[in-house]
Structure 1
Amino acid sequence: MIAVTGATGNVGRALVDRLLAAGRPVRALTRDPERAALPERAEAVRFRPEEPAALFDGVTGVFLYARAVTEPLLAAARAAGVRHAVLLSSGIVREGADETHPIHVLHATAERLIRESGLEWTFLRPNGFAANALQWAPQIRAGNTVRGVYAHAVAAPIHEDDIAAVAERVLLDGGHEGAVHRLTGPRAATNADQVAAIGAAVGRELTFVEIDPRTAGPELFPHLDAYMLDRLLKTFEATVGVPPEITHTVERITGTPARTFTRWARDHAADFGAGPAA
């Protein structure tokens, strides 16, 4: 059996579906099983990280996201017989990175705890998620203008199901223990390019309007404190006009090329409201 933490998240849910389609039993760990709307064949279990002992009975492999990783959780997994932990880490963890960045600290700490746990491990380090574009969905549902920062910030966004496809192969196939896989989409796209692609997917012409990052916080990032907002904006600024890292890891591991952002936008057209704006 494979346990999947974050089973209702973008990557976790896609992985649950993939494992079930492959005929593998899945324990879907979620904080609210009653509202999770998971497939009936998945064993939905309430995720109580403070009570980890009951989570891993009969489990041989586990998919983890960084905030779920604690020493007691890993110790419970090992004691229950889990052999392999696959972590959804972050591409920010790399040689020469700013090790004080809060996103780096979170994921590097999770990686260290797993390395020290005695479990076999594989780390997936995706760069920007295509699903980050969902932050624009309320604006796109309301009209044809998207206000945002850094129209020319460049990324190679990765489809969440491509991450799940890699995780599936890593969990089910041998040979990935001790490996670090860096994951990206296949093509570079600016923020403005991404908005245009979403517009094509929903049948409308959308315009990206760049706003001053110094005043963007309350409007665009109300949930972030000042320190995290400053670090995030500096991360975005550093990508303006800079060609992103592009890997072919998805195709190498799964045998299928990574999907473009244009494909992601078509897959998620309903999230943005297809058809003409009201």
Structure 2
Amino acid sequence: MITVMGATGRTGSRICQTLLAAGVLVRALGRNAERLAPLAAAGAQIAVGEPHDGAFLTEAFRGAEAVYTLLVYGPETEDYRNQQAAQGEAIIQAICASTVRRVVFLSSVGAEVPCGTGPIISMHDQEQRLRQLPPEVNVLMLRSGALFENLYGALEIVRAYDCYSDAVAPDMPVPMVATQDVADAASGALLDRDWQGIVTREVLGQRDISYAQATQLLGAAIGRPDLAYVPVSPQELAAALREAGYSASVADCYAELGEAISSGRVRAQETRSPANTTATPFEDFAQTWAAAYRALL
């Protein structure tokens, strides 16, 4: 049996479906029973609880051969780092109190950097906690590139302002990857269990893409190949996010992340290879993004 945290999210739901299709017993965790119902109908056990509840996670991990873990948050999170720490410590508690011996953690490119990385800092912190587990626990840190799907946040910006803006330098190449490819990498690891000790693997997408290139490709998909990417300062981004309803804590994290990517502080560490280069091209996502954009009109 394999336990999957965040089973109603983009990575978790696909992981559950892949494991179930492979004939594996899945225990799917989430905060909402109604959203978990389709997985229950597909044959998964479901468990409803909070990701910061160590007792809940301990029971959910008990008896599992492997677990998929991640840290979740929302734009309204008031104290990002402390909220993430509470989840991370609950996961560690559950691993130690259960018999699980294989853990996959969804981390990020840049998680090796100890400060100045915005929201990635929580993944650095969690990687450090996981490294302190007993030696019999085998941990895979799956460091994802920037997810294509994060650019759904551009939909309203493009509609309202006829451009896309962020604090990342326009021509900085960024490893971008489809969520489905990250989920498939995690599923493969959970099925194969082909690592020993503490291991990191990057999932970098088909190719690096700059924000200017990504904006041009999104624009082309909606018949606007001239769509402009307009960089803003980290301070301007933080102010805009706060105005849009983000907490100051999360808004400041994203502003810091923009500077960290632009400066090269957050970057891939591995040389590209078949092992870390996935198949889905950004152009495929751009068509899906364009359909979502047209639905707004």
TM-score by length of structure 2 reads 0.77
Residue 54 of structure 1, aligned match among 33, 52, 59: 59
Match of 1:111 in 2: 127
Is 1:228 matched up with 2:228? no
Aligned mates of 1:201, 1:37 — CA distance in 2: 34
Aligned to 1:183: 203
Is the 1:4–1:26 Cα contact (8 Å) retained in structure 2?
yes
Are the equivalent residues in 1 in contact too, given 2:177–2:204 (CA < 8 A)? Answer: yes
Q: 1:45 aligns with which of 41, 44, 47?
A: 47
After TM superposition, the structure 1 = structure 2 runs for residues 131-170 of structure 1, keeping only pairs within 5 Å, are 131-140=149-158, 144-149=162-167, 150-170=169-189
When residues 98 and 83 of structure 1 are mapped into structure 2, their CA distance, relative to the original with a 3 A threshold, is: closer
Preserved contact between residue 7 and residue 16 of structure 1 (Cα < 8 Å): yes
Indicate conservation of the 8 Å contact 2:237/2:255, yes or no: no
Query: Is residue 2:99 matched to residue 1:81?
Result: yes
168, 174, 183: which is aligned to 2:193? 174
Contact 2:106–2:141 under 8 Å retained in 1: yes
Q: What CA distance in whole angstroms lies between the structure 1 residues aligned with 2:5 and 2:47?
A: 10
Amino acid of the structure 1 residue aligned with 2:284:
R
- Equivalent residue number for residue 194 of structure 1: 214
Q: Which residue is 1:252 aligned to?
A: 275
Which one is further off, 172-181 or 206-215? 206-215
Q: 8 Å contact 1:221–1:229 — kept in the other structure? A: no
Which residue in the other structure is 1:8 paired with? 8
For residue 29 of structure 1, give the secondary structure of its aligned residue in structure 2: strand
TM-aligned CA deviation for residue 74 of structure 1: 3.0
Equivalent-residue separation in structure 2 for 1:243 and 1:116 (angstroms): 25
CA separation of 1:56 and 1:148: change in aligned 2, threshold 3 A: closer
| Alpha carbons 2:177, 2:278 under 8 Å: kept | no
Asked if the contact 1:19–1:26 (Cα under 8 Å) also holds between the matched residues in 2, the reply is yes
**1:40-93 CA distances to partner (integer Å, 9 max, x unpaired)?**
223232133323332123321111113475444334334432121100111112
Distance 1:201 1:174 in 2: 39
C-alpha change, 1:245 and 1:121, in structure 2 (3 Å) is closer
Distance 1:34-1:188 versus aligned 2 partners, 3 A rule: same
1:8 and 1:80 mapped to 2: Cα distance?
Answer: 23
Structure 2 residue aligned with 1:123, among 99, 124, 141?
141
Measured against aligned partners, the alpha-carbon deviations of 1:159-184 in whole angstroms (never above 9, x if no partner) come to 11111111111111132233210121
1:113 shift after superposition: 1.9
CA distance in structure 2 between the aligned counterparts of 1:11 and 1:36, rounded to whole angstroms: 14
Q: Which moved more, 1:197-206 or 1:259-268?
A: 197-206
The letter for the 1-side match of 2:285 is W
Identity, in percent, stands at: 25
Q: Distance in 2 between matches of 1:107 and 1:243?
A: 15
Contiguous gaps of at least 5 residues in structure 2: 72-83
Distance 1:104 1:211 in 2: 21
Unaligned segments of structure 1, at least 5 residues: none
Query: Aligned partners of 1:227, 1:123: CA distance in 2, in Å?
Result: 25
Say if 1:57 and 1:270 are closer, same or farther in 2 by CA, change over 3 A. Answer: farther
Deviates more, 1:115-124 or 1:29-38: 29-38
How many residues are aligned here? Answer: 270
Q: Counterpart in 1 of 2:19?
A: 19
Q: Quick one: distance in 2 between partners of 1:186 and 1:238?
A: 22
2:285 counterpart of 1:264: yes
Judging changes above 3 Å, is the alpha-carbon distance between structure 1 residues 81 and 59 closer, same or farther for their aligned structure 2 residues? same
